Structure 1
Amino acid sequence: MLFSPFAASAGIIVHPGVEGRSISTVSLRNIYTLRQTLWPNRQPIVIFVLPDDHPVHEAFAKEKLGLYPYRLRQTWDRLSFSGMASAPVEVKDENEMRARVRATPGAIGYTSKDTGHDGIKILRLE
């Protein structure tokens, strides 16, 4: 099955209680490489991700973070195995991603830009 890079492009979503309307590229990368674990208001960040081979995950990692998915996985494995951080929570699809982000205070995730976003906040990347 072929995927258009435009269809797989990922948008950043957060729980509606997360403050702000935008996030810097540096902050987003720090969150997803487990270097930043708290939001500016000191609320813990809960990270949700799609499976490594999901086209939206691949687009998110490459376009938004500038990393290949396998590099992210290596970082998560190294930090979680060493006990320095917990790996992100993997969800099976975009529907579960939206549901979990909506229900989890401090949550961040990503979905296709063309999917519905009821009850969650979309962050603009600066």
Structure 2
Amino acid sequence: MLQFVYIKLISFIRVGIIVSTMGCSSVNAAEIVVNSTVPSKQYTLADIRAVFMMRQRFWPNGEQIKVFTLSDSDLLHKDFVKNNLNMFPHQLRRIWDRMLFSGTGAIPVQLDSEQEMIDKIANTPYAIGYLNNRPDNEKIRLFEYQ
């Protein structure tokens, strides 16, 4: 009986180690980036969440916000939603789907790659998105918030 408990304990520890190492991906924390036309101001986490949940649709200067995201299955998207918005990707998707199907709002533009994200944000005034690293592009700046 003691040997059975010991084997179960070892198996449990192995599973825990495997699961904890799976959670450590090679993806860095996502950087929120914006087009250089976005007004600078003191933004909060609540502001960022409202923007990506498509509840805040205009910047303080009255210009419409253009939100870009990656696909739900993209590792960077998952990292961004969990670490920057403090929610799970399926929760964010549920909010977008509810808005889309009820006709009460729009959903973000979904892009296929980080390179496409860089191109869209650089060439779209008042755009916001996220990247793995700070881009080397004078039309894009990091989005600062508290």
TM-score (norm 2): 0.78
Alignment of 1:9-24 (within 5 A): 9-20=29-40, 23-24=43-44
- Conserved in 1, the CA contact under 8 Å of 2:78 and 2:89? yes
Count of residue pairs the alignment pairs up: 124
Alignment of 1:32-71 (within 5 A): 32-71=52-91
Which structure has the larger Rg?
2
Q: Go from structure 1 to structure 2 and tell me whether the alpha carbon gap of 1:56 and 1:22 turns closer, same or farther (over 3 Å shift).
A: farther
Provide, for residues 65-108 of structure 1, a one-character-per-residue CA deviation record: whole Å limited to 9, x for no partner: 11111111110011011111111000001100011011111110
Q: Which runs of 5+ in 1 are unaligned?
A: none
Distance across 1 between alignment mates of 2:49 and 2:130: 13
Residue type of the alignment partner of 2:140: I
Structure with greater contact order relative to length (CA < 8 Å, sep ≥ 6): 1
Aligned counterpart in structure 1 of residue 135 of structure 2, from 105, 109, 116: 116
Higher helix fraction (1 or 2): 2
Give the equivalent residue in structure 2 for 1:29: 49
Runs of 4+ in 1 over 6 A off after TM superposition: none
Higher strand fraction (1 or 2): 1
CA root-mean-square deviation: 1.8
Q: Go from structure 1 to structure 2 and tell me whether the alpha carbon gap of 1:25 and 1:16 turns closer, same or farther (over 3 Å shift).
A: same
The CA deviation at 1:109 is 0.1
Q: Go from structure 1 to structure 2 and tell me whether the alpha carbon gap of 1:122 and 1:92 turns closer, same or farther (over 3 Å shift).
A: same
Q: Percent identity?
A: 31
